[in-house]
Amino acid sequence: MIVLAFLFVYCFFWYQMGSALLAGASISIIILSFPATTIITSGIFQISYFGFIHVIGIFLVIGIAADDIFVFMDAWKQSEHVAPEVMYKDNDNLPNGALKRRMAYTIRRSVRSMSITSTTTAAAFFANMFSPIMPIKSFGVFSGFLIPMNFLLVVIVMPCAVIWYERNIKGKFKYCCIPRSTAERDQILNAEQEISKSEIFFDKTWSKCVGKMKYVIIAVSLVWAGISFFYALSFEAPGE
């Protein structure tokens, strides 16, 4: 089950990023999060218990890591369209300079949101430290360190992987190790990347719809929250 989960996520990374290398780097981040976290929990805090419940952390970090990586990659793709007069200023032929400016924008754009979501998720897991049940307490500590460790690896590894891919791999090969001609490579690199249909939909159609129906959405949300709260109060603990 775990292998299938990793295989599915890898294929989805590859499809979204268009690169087997970046997909492999993303999966490596997820895998490396576990030994790095074990060094902290077992080596520093001497928490040696690792039960079946800890395996759930594998599926949790796959989803959370995928979120962070997609946020980072989305910001990287946006940097290609944001202020081209700044990113590619003076029409110089210095791709490294453009890559540095794009990466600076990407980090400023993505790291703050990733850090906030990782912090709140880690805090939720650390709350399990107050549980009287030892396996749950151990799971909370392990997962609480696992999430920020994954965030740090994303911030450290993904910029290096993306820059290396852009400099050495992108546009140079057709399939696997078959190189492209110089003309084909220049055509790919100079082609303007089109904005996806989903981005156009949420940017234009969806945002306008939300703006026009904001009061209806608020009213429906309040009614739904009230109904949910009412039924939540009616729950009773099962008898022995």
The average pLDDT across 196-201 equals 74
pLDDT at 193 over 80: no
Same domain as 239, residue 161: no
pLDDT at 138: 87
Residue 76 domain-assigned (yes or no): yes
**Whether 116 and 72 share a structural domain:** yes
Is residue 200, in this structure, part of any structural domain at all?
no
Confidence of residue 219 (pLDDT cuts 50, 70, 90): very high
**How many domains is the chain partitioned into structurally?**
2
Q: What is the spatial distance between Cα 11 and Cα 17, in angstroms, rounded to a whole number?
A: 10
Together in a domain, 155 and 55: yes
What is the per-residue pLDDT across 61-105, written as a single tens digit (0 to 9) for each?
888 888 899 999 988 888 877 766 555 555 555 556 678 888 888
Residues 113-148: tens digit of each pLDDT: 899 999 999 999 999 888 888 888 888 888 889 999
Give the pLDDT of residue 199: 72
Cβ-based neighbours of 106, under 8 Å, separated by 6 or more: 72, 75, 76, 79, 159
Q: For residue 131, give every residue at least 6 positions away whose Cβ sits within 8 Å of its Cβ, in sequence order, or none.
A: 137, 140
Residue span of the structural domain in which 218 resides: 205-240
Q: Would you state the pLDDT for residue 220? A: 94
**95 occurs within a structural domain:** yes
Same domain for 185 and 225, yes or no, is no
| DSSP secondary structure of 75-140 | HHHHHTTS-HHHHTGGG-S-HHHHHHHHHHHHHHHHHHHHHHHHHHHHHHHHGGGG-SSHHHHHHH
107 and 226 belong to one structural domain? no
One domain for residues 111 and 225:
no
Please check whether residue 213 lies inside any domain of the structure. Answer: yes
- 117 and 215 inside one domain: no
CATH code for position 157: 1.20.1640.10
- Specify whether 123 is located in the same domain as 182: yes
